[in-house]
């Protein structure tokens, strides 16, 4: 029992440190030697846990990145709110993580998607699966909103979900190194206008 606990703690520490390196330097610019130096590990100790650098990164995707993205952008959508306020609150809260983070390097999922998008490999599939989970949940929420009378039946939920995801990923990139607070405010004003335009007119109070 104690041995398993220590192994899990070691694995978590390795993944957390590895993610910091990959996020700051990029996957391809980070070598095995960089990882070993950061973790103070021998090659033998590293390969005892992971078969390769790819295997290590896939483990990080499955055990950290998926949970981070889900907690930030998917789980809040399941709260008992009508769709438009739910999406607005979720995006607004997610952007606060960048607004107050001086070491922000962009949206972690978008960064790695861009880095791996040139090829069709195992890693890109894992990353796209995370994006697909977010997309499916957004579409489901919007369709429920149509059924419940909160959103106009003229709204194409698939197209709306694509726009929300693409615009969020874009603004996260633009906020890096710029005045994040102002950019967040400007983006949220336009996103709200876009989302409010989806509402059934009789449901919106002016």
Q: Which residues of the chain have pLDDT under 70?
A: 1-2, 101-105, 119-120, 201-206
In this prediction the pTM is 0.86
Give buried/exposed letters for 112-135 (b at 16+ CB in 10 A, else e). bbebbeeeeeebbebbeebeeebb
Q: Which residue has the tokens 């929300």?
A: 164
What is the CATH class of 61-203?
mainly alpha
Question: Collapsing DSSP states into helix, strand and coil, what is residue 157?
Answer: helix
Quick one: pLDDT at residue 203?
42
How far apart CA 79 and CA 205 sit, in angstroms, is: 23
> Hey, how many other C-beta atoms are within 10 angstroms of the C-beta on 168?
21
Within the chain, all domains assigned CATH 1.10.357.10 are found at 61-203
Quick one: pLDDT at residue 94?
92
DSSP letters along 99-126, please?
HT-TT--S-HHHHHHHHHTTS--HHHHH
Q: What CATH number labels 1-50?
A: 1.10.10.60
Question: Which residues 6+ apart lie within 8 Å of 111 measured at CB?
Answer: 23, 26, 105
Measure CA 132 to chain center.
Answer: 11
Cα distance between the two ends of the chain: 61
Quick one: pLDDT at residue 81?
75
Within the chain, all domains assigned CATH 1.10.10.60 are found at 1-50
Quick one: pLDDT at residue 6?
78
């Amino acid at each position: 029992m104690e041995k398993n606990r220590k192994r899990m703690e070691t694995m978590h520490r390795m993944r957390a440190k590895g993610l910091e390196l990959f996020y700051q330097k990029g996957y391809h610019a980070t070598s095995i030697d960089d990882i070993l130096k950061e973790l103070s590990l021998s090659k033998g100790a590293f390969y005892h846990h992971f078969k390769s650098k790819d295997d290590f990164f896939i483990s990080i995707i499955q055990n950290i990145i998926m949970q981070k993205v889900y907690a930030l952008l998917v789980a809040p959508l399941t709260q008992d709110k009508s769709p438009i306020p739910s999406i607005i609150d979720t995006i607004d809260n997610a952007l606060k993580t960048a607004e107050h983070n001086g070491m922000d390097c962009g949206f972690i999922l978008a960064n790695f998607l861009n880095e791996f998008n040139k090829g069709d490999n195992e890693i890109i599939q894992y990353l796209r699966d995370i994006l697909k989970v977010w997309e499916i949940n957004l579409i489901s929420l919007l369709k429920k909103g149509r059924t419940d009378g909160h959103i106009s039946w003229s709204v194409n939920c698939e197209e709306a979900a694509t726009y929300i995801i693409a615009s969020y990923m874009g603004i996260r990139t633009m906020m890096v190194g710029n005045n994040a607070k102002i950019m967040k405010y400007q983006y949220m004003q336009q996103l709200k206008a876009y989302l409010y335009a989806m509402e059934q007119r009789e449901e919106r109070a002016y």
